[in-house]
Amino acid sequence: MGKHQWIITRDITRESYLASSSSRELLIVTETVTGDGSHLPPMLIISAQEHIESWYHDLPDDWLVGVSESGYSNDQLAHEWLKHFN
């Protein structure tokens, strides 16, 4: 039993895991809006060593997804983002 959730199972020896609303990962979105109101496609940066395409559903084709062990942007990710819209 979690805070507001119950897990009902026939196998009492199996460990159960509940998602916690207090356990969140950092996600950075890099975006640019110009003075005339137009914008460039964003880049999502997640904290990971690698990512799997099936993690993302219904993202627009022009969005980029990058990974960084620290979860923050770095020179390599910034360069990839610049190449994407240049």
- Confidence class of residue 46 from pLDDT cuts 50, 70 and 90? confident
- Confidence class of residue 1 from pLDDT cuts 50, 70 and 90? very low
CA dist 3 and 20 (Å) reads 9
State the pTM of this model.
Answer: 0.57
- Mapped onto helix, strand or coil, the DSSP state of residue 68 is strand
CA dist 16 and 62 (Å) reads 38
For the stretch 7-40, pLDDT in tens is 667 777 777 666 655 555 677 888 888 889 888 8
